[in-house]
């Protein structure tokens, strides 16, 4: 579980640019391209969290070190999000199977398919 401070938007664009040794205009371009989405104050000032800084470091690594253009970076970031979502779903289903095996109950689910040898077992909760 991540700490709240990791996601807390506290850094101004000038501070992030200095930390990462890049021009603030680069950060604005990344935002226009949809690669990052900093928070905004009521006065429309951009604020970045440590999570944002880590995401920017990923973008910089992909562009500088690997030579990937921004369209490629966008595609990679989208695929990474999909992979993360699928991994979370897989973990959720593993927990449901474990609960079923331990307690014979599948919480908050209508059906669960369990692969046993060459047969599919479908359990329907009514």
**Which two tokens mark 19?**
């930390």
CATH number at residue 1: 1.10.1660.10
Specify the number of domains making up the chain. Answer: 1
Helix axes 24-32, 13-20, angle to 10 degrees: 110
Task: Flag whether 124 is in a domain.
Answer: no
User: In this structure, are residues 71 and 61 in contact, taking their beta carbons and an 8 Å threshold?
Assistant: no
CA angle 49, 53, 57 (to 5 degrees): 165
27 falls within a domain: yes
Q: Is residue 9 part of a domain?
A: yes
Total count of residues recorded for the chain: 126
Helices (H) and strands (E) in the chain, counts: 5, 5
What letter would DSSP give residue 65?
A: I
The domain containing residue 26 runs over which residues?
1-68
- What global pTM score does this model have? 0.69
8-43 pLDDT, tens per residue?
999 999 999 999 999 999 999 999 999 999 999 999
Q: Is residue 10 part of a domain?
A: yes
User: Using 50, 70 and 90 to split pLDDT, how confident is the model at 124?
Assistant: low
> Does residue 58 form part of some domain?
yes
Question: What is the predicted pLDDT for the residue at 108?
Answer: 58
pLDDT (tens digit per residue) in 65-110 = 999 999 999 999 999 999 999 999 999 988 888 887 887 665 555 5
């Amino acid at each position: 579980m991540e700490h709240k401070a990791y996601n807390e938007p506290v850094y101004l664009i000038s501070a992030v640019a200095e930390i990462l040794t890049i021009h603030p205009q680069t950060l604005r371009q990344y935002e226009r391209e949809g690669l990052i989405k900093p928070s905004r104050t009521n006065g429309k000032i951009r604020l970045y969290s440590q999570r944002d800084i880590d995401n920017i470091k990923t973008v910089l690594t992909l562009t500088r070190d690997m030579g990937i253009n921004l369209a490629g970076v966008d595609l990679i970031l989208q695929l990474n999000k999909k992979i993360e979502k699928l991994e979370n779903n897989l973990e959720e289903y593993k927990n449901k199977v474990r609960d079923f095996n331990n307690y014979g109950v599948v919480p908050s689910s209508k059906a669960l398919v369990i692969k046993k040898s060459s047969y599919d077992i479908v359990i329907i909760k009514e």
